[in-house]
């Protein structure tokens, strides 16, 4: 799902709900929200909106409670691409991906490992995620009807060793929620995504923010689904939209037999 998120959860929630209502009826269905789907703003907005990861449904704060309801009401696997979550005892927070099953149960989560501390030639200019966020330490693989899901977030895409570790642990679908800038996205988004699919012989599902945000930021969009041969099956250039494509699990197995590159790896 591609969005143009803003500072306020209520507005972003309405945008997501509208796109969820337009989903096809076929199930099982995997839905990936982009990075910052709930809150897209400045440092204080993320700090104020961060939620503690719920250990039980009754403890879920508003964003997580809504995600669980959507997954259950729609009967979908819903991956909340990235939202701010609190770290007990810290003045920093995590940016975290949460996976909900069709019963509304959170099956797992991932805290973004690689933080975007970069200067970019756009109207924002300076990005320093480490001023607000602390990096995660663990890779995350979640079992699902689509095969094991390998979780990542945005800037992680530039670090192939993360995806190789996920594929070595059995990932068949790599998820890349993002808020790639227009400058870096135009140059590198699609080549990096296709490379991660080809080198790991996995499907890649990439949900990006896609347009002009109220903060003045410009995101690249071009959310897409890529098969293990590196073919783009579907994409959306910009604006809010559902991006849909079927997955053929047999393709992964066929490629692994015909071109067993993962078995031929000599450097680890």
Catalytic positions, written as ranges: 35, 112, 154
Q: Where are the beta strands (DSSP E) in the chain?
A: 30-32, 77-86, 93-100, 106-111, 117-119, 126-128, 141-142, 149-151, 173-178, 203-208, 223-226, 232-236
Distances (CA, A) of 177 to 116, 236, 239: 14, 14, 15
Task: Name the H helices within the chain.
Answer: 9-21, 43-49, 62-74, 160-168, 182-184, 190-200, 249-258
Q: Which among 96, 105, 37 has a CA at the least distance from the CA of 71?
A: 105
Cβ atoms of 196 and 160 within 8 Å: the answer is: yes
Q: Which among 136, 144, 102 has a CA at the least distance from the CA of 247?
A: 144
* Token reading at 7: 């500072």
Preceding omega of 28 cis (within 30 degrees of 0): yes
Residues in the chain: 268
């Amino acid at each position: 799902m591609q969005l143009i998120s803003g500072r306020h959860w209520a507005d972003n929630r309405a945008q997501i709900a509208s796109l969820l209502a337009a989903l096809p009826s076929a199930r099982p269905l995997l839905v990936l929200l982009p990075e910052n789907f709930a809150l897209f703003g400045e440092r204080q907005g993320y700090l104020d909106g961060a939620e503690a990861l719920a250990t039980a449904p009754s403890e879920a704060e508003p964003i997580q409670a809504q995600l669980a309801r959507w997954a259950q009401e729609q009967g979908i696997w819903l991956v909340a691409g990235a939202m701010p979550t609190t770290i007990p005892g810290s003045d920093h927070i995590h940016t975290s991906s949460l996976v909900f099953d069709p019963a509304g149960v959170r099956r797992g989560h991932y805290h973004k490992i690689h933080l975007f501390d970069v200067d970019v030639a756009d109207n924002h200019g300076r990005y320093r995620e480490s001023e607000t966020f602390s990096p995660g330490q663990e890779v995350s693989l979640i079992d699902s009807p689509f095969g094991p899901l390998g979780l990542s977030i945005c800037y992680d895409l530039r670090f192939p060793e993360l995806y190789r570790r996920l594929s070595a642990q059995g990932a068949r679908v790599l998820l890349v929620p993002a808020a790639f800038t227009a400058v870096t996205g135009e140059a590198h988004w699609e080549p990096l995504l296709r490379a991660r699919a080809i080198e790991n012989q996995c499907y890649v599902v990439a949900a990006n923010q896609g347009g002009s945000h109220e903060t003045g930021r410009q995101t690249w969009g071009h959310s897409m689904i890529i098969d293990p041969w590196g073919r783009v099956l579907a994409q959306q250039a910009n604006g809010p939209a559902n991006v849909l494509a079927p997955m053929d699990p047999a393709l992964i197995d066929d490629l692994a037999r015909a071109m067993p590159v993962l078995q031929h790896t000599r450097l680890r």
